[in-house]
Structure 1
Amino acid sequence: MREKQSQVDPLAVAADVLGWLANEPDMLSRFLALSGLRADQLREAIADPGFLAGLLDFVMGHEPTLIAFSDATGTKPEDVGAAWRALSGPGLDSGEF
C-alpha cells in the first residue's frame, strides 16, 4: 500500500522563506544581490509567481541555505523541494516537455 503524501502549500513555504530571510540580514543581502532586487521592491515582488519561485530556487540552489532554513523553521527539506517544483514548473530533467 502506498503512503499518502502530505500536501505542501507552495505559497506558504515561499512566504516562510521570505520571513526567514527578513530575519537573516546576511542571507537577505545575498538573495538581493543574486536577484538584482532592492529591499524596497520586495513587497511588490511578492505578488509575482516568478519571484516566489526565485525565493525557493535560492534556497534549493545551496544546500547549506536549505539546511539553515529547515533547521530555523522546522520545515522538512523535502517540503521545500515539493514547493519549489510546484512553483518552478517542469525542469529539463523532468521528462515533462
Structure 2
Amino acid sequence: MKQRSPGAQDAAEALAIQALTFIAADGERLGTFLALTGIGPGDIRAAAREPGFLAGVLDHVSSNEQLLRDFAAEAGVPPETIGKARSALGGGDWEREIP
C-alpha cells in the first residue's frame, strides 16, 4: 500500500479549503452544497474540522463537470489535480452526524 506523504496531504487540504472558499463565494453554489450535505451555513467551520469533510468538498466539486472545470480554472490547476488531491486525503465519504 502506498503511503501518503505529509506534503501531499497538506497540499490536498489546502486545495480543498480553496474549493470550499470557491463554493462559498457564490450563493447558488453554496446553496447547492448546503442542500446536498445537509449542513447549515453556521456549521461549515465545525464540519471542516471533521475527518473526511474536506474530502467531501472535493467529491462535491468533482460530481459536477462544470463546477469541476470552473474551480480548476479558478485554482489554476488541471481538473485531474482535484481527483489526485481527493485521493491524497483518503478516507471514505463524509457523512454528517445527525444528533
TM-score, L = length of structure 1? 0.78
Q: Extract unaligned runs of 5+ from structure 1.
A: 1-6, 91-97
How well do the aligned residues superpose, as a CA RMSD in angstroms?
Answer: 1.6
1:25-84: CA deviations, max 9, x gaps? 111110000000000000111111211111000011111110011122212212111111
Query: Quick one: which amino acid aligns to residue 78 of structure 1?
Result: E
- Give the CA deviation at 1:88: 3.8
8 Å Cα contact 1:49-1:87 kept in structure 2: no
Q: Extract unaligned runs of 5+ from structure 2.
A: 1-6, 93-99
Residue aligning to 1:65:
67
Identity of aligned residues (%): 38
State how far apart, in whole Å, the 2-side matches of 1:76 and 1:24 are.
Answer: 21
8 Å Cα contact 2:12-2:88 kept in structure 1: yes
Larger Rg: 1
TM-score, L = length of structure 2? 0.76
Deviation beyond 4 Å, 4+ runs, structure 1: none
Query: Quick one: which amino acid aligns to residue 19 of structure 1?
Result: T
Aligned residues: 84
